[in-house]
């Protein structure tokens, strides 16, 4: 079993920055992809960014140039640096990890951006 624990959410004014972290623990031999989705109430979960074990990154168009994903393989941790935040970035962010072909999810962390 794999557990993902997120941290770093909170409240910030528009234009500000936050850094999310997600640490994986448990029965891990190696983690393939890690990344982030987000979800607003009543809407489908939306892809934000992902990073491969080799460091290749992919971003949603809505966050390109503002968000940066990175990972520390030694710590089994993925990060999301969020800059130039907008009120529409106000949602719950979920991290995920692909381990041995299975998807695991964190519990979610709230990000609130005020105008």
Contact, 6 vs 106, CB < 8 A?
yes
- Report, as an integer, the average pLDDT of 72-98: 96
* pLDDT for 113 beyond 80: yes
Q: What is the pLDDT of residues 28-66, one digit of tens each?
A: 778 899 999 999 999 999 999 999 999 999 999 999 999
- pLDDT for the residue numbered 45: 95
Confidence of residue 97 (pLDDT cuts 50, 70, 90): very high
Residue owning tokens 């998807």: 103
Distance CA 68, CA 10 (A): 18
Three-state DSSP at 12 gives strand
Cα end-to-end distance, the chain, whole Å: 40
- pLDDT for the residue numbered 76: 93
- pLDDT for the residue numbered 29: 78
Cβ neighbour number for residue 6 with a 10 Å cutoff: 21
Distance CA 19, CA 49 (A): 14
């Amino acid at each position: 079993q794999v557990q993902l624990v997120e941290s770093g959410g909170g409240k910030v004014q528009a234009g500000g920055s936050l850094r999310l972290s997600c640490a994986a623990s448990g029965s891990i031999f190696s983690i393939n992809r890690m990344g982030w989705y987000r979800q607003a109430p009543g809407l489908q979960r939306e892809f934000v960014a992902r990073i491969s074990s080799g460091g290749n990154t992919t971003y949603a168009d809505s966050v390109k140039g503002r968000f940066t994903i990175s990972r520390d393989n030694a710590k089994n941790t993925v990060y999301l640096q969020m800059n130039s935040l907008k009120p529409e970035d106000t949602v719950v962010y979920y991290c995920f990890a692909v381990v041995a072909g299975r998807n695991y999810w964190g519990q979610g962390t709230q990000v609130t951006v005020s105008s």
